[in-house]
C-alpha cells in the first residue's frame, strides 16, 4: 500500500513593504540598476529615487482614500518600478515587471496581489505606458514628480547634458493635493542659472501630459507651478 502524501501548497504570505525593503536581492538589484544608469549618463535611479516615489505614491493613494492594503501594494510597486534598469534602460518597465514577479513569487506573495503590481510597473514610462489602475496612476505622478538637484550623478558641471542641467536647477519639488478642489499640483522652484523653464518643458512635456492623464484616472486635475507660474 502506497503511503499518502500531502501535496497541499503553502498558503500565500502577506508580504509588506518592510519585507521588500529588507530583501537583500531587492537592494542589490536596485543598486545595480542605478549603476547601469550612472554608466549610461542618467540621473539617480537608485534607493533614494524609489524611496521618494514610494512615499509620494502613498500620499496620493491615501488622499483618494484607497484601501490600506491597496496602498501598501502601490508602495511595493513603486519601490520596484525601476528595477528593470539593471538590464537596460530600453524596455525596463517590462523587464522590471518580470524581475518583480520572480522576487515577489519567491517571497510567497499571493499572485492575485502580484498581478496589479506588475501592471503598474509595466506601464509607468511615458513612451509606452498608460495608467491602468489607481496604483498605476499614482506611481506615474510620483515618478515624474521626482525632479531634484540631488538626482544628478555627473560630478563634472561642464559636461552636464540637458537632463543634468534641469535636475540641477530644481531646488524644491513637491506634490500637493486639494480634496475640495480635486486638484493635484506639482510645485517646482527652479534656479534659472542652471536651466531655463523652457528647457524643463523641452524634456518633461510628455511626462507632464502623462501626469495629467494619470490624475484624470482618479478624478483630479493636474497642474504645474514653476517659480510661481501656474499652468494647467
Question: Beta strand 183-190 with 221-226: parallel, antiparallel or unpaired?
Answer: parallel
Q: Which helix (H) or strand (E) holds 114?
A: helix 111-122
pLDDT at 9 over 60: no
Q: What is the pLDDT of residues 70-118, one digit of tens each?
A: 999 999 999 999 999 999 999 999 999 999 999 999 999 999 999 999 9
pLDDT at 67 over 70: yes
pLDDT at res. 197: 86
Phi first, then psi: give them for residue 225, nearest 5 degrees: -120, 120
Q: What are the residue ranges spanned by the domains of the chain? A: 17-231
pLDDT at 231 over 90: no
- Cα angle 48, 54, 56; round to 5: 105
Three-class secondary structure of residue 81 per DSSP:
coil
- The x, y and z cell numbers of residue 159, run together, are 559636461
pLDDT at 3 over 70: no
Q: Cα-Cα-Cα-Cα dihedral of 160, 161, 165, 166, to 10°?
A: -160
Quickly count: other Cβ atoms within 10 Å of residue 231's Cβ.
Answer: 13
pLDDT at 148 over 70: yes
Question: Beta strand 229-231 with 183-190: parallel, antiparallel or unpaired?
Answer: unpaired
Mean pLDDT throughout 50-58?
98
Residue 73 and residue 135 in contact, taking contact as beta carbons nearer than 8 Å? yes
Mean pLDDT throughout 124-137?
93
Q: pLDDT band at 7, cuts 50/70/90?
A: very low
Count Cα neighbours of 173 within 13 Å in the Cβ-side half-sphere.
22
Q: pLDDT band at 8, cuts 50/70/90?
A: very low
Specify the CATH architecture of the domain 17-231: Orthogonal Bundle (1.10)
Q: How would DSSP label each residue in 133-168?
A: SHHHHHHHHHHHH---GGG-----GGG--HHHHHHH
| CA-based end-to-end distance of the chain | 75
pLDDT at res. 151: 95
Residue 111 and residue 105 in contact, taking contact as beta carbons nearer than 8 Å? yes
Q: What mean pLDDT value characterizes the chain?
A: 93
Strands of the chain, DSSP E: 170-178, 183-190, 221-226, 229-231
Q: pLDDT band at 232, cuts 50/70/90?
A: confident
Lowest mean pLDDT among 14-18, 124-128, 138-142: 124-128
- 3-state percent breakdown (helix, strand, coil) of the chain, nearest 5: 55, 10, 30
Amino acid at each position: 500500500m502506497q503511503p499518502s502524501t500531502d501535496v497541499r501548497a503553502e498558503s500565500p504570505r502577506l508580504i509588506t513593504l518592510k519585507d521588500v525593503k529588507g530583501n537583500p536581492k531587492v537592494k542589490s538589484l536596485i543598486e545595480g540598476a542605478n549603476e547601469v544608469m550612472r554608466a549610461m549618463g542618467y540621473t539617480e535611479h537608485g534607493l533614494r529615487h524609489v524611496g521618494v516615489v514610494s512615499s509620494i505614491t502613498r500620499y496620493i493613494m491615501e488622499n483618494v482614500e484607497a484601501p490600506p492594503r491597496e496602498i501598501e501594494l502601490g508602495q511595493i510597486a513603486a519601490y520596484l518600478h525601476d528595477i528593470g534598469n539593471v538590464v537596460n534602460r530600453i524596455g525596463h518597465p517590462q523587464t522590471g515587471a518580470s524581475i518583480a514577479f520572480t522576487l515577489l513569487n519567491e517571497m510567497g506573495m499571493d499572485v492575485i496581489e502580484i498581478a496589479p503590481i506588475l501592471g503598474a510597473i509595466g506601464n509607468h514610462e511615458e513612451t509606452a505606458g498608460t495608467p491602468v489602475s489607481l496604483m498605476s496612476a499614482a506611481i506615474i505622478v510620483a515618478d515624474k514628480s521626482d525632479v531634484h538637484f540631488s538626482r544628478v550623478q555627473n560630478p563634472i558641471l561642464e559636461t552636464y547634458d540637458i537632463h543634468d542641467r534641469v535636475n540641477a536647477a530644481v531646488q524644491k519639488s513637491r506634490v500637493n493635493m486639494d480634496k475640495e478642489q480635486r486638484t493635484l499640483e506639482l510645485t517646482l522652484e527652479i534656479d534659472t542659472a542652471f536651466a531655463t523653464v523652457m528647457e524643463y518643458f523641452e524634456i518633461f512635456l510628455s511626462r507632464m501630459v502623462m501626469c495629467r492623464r494619470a490624475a484624470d484616472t482618479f478624478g483630479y486635475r493636474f497642474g504645474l507651478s514653476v517659480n510661481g507660474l501656474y499652468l494647467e
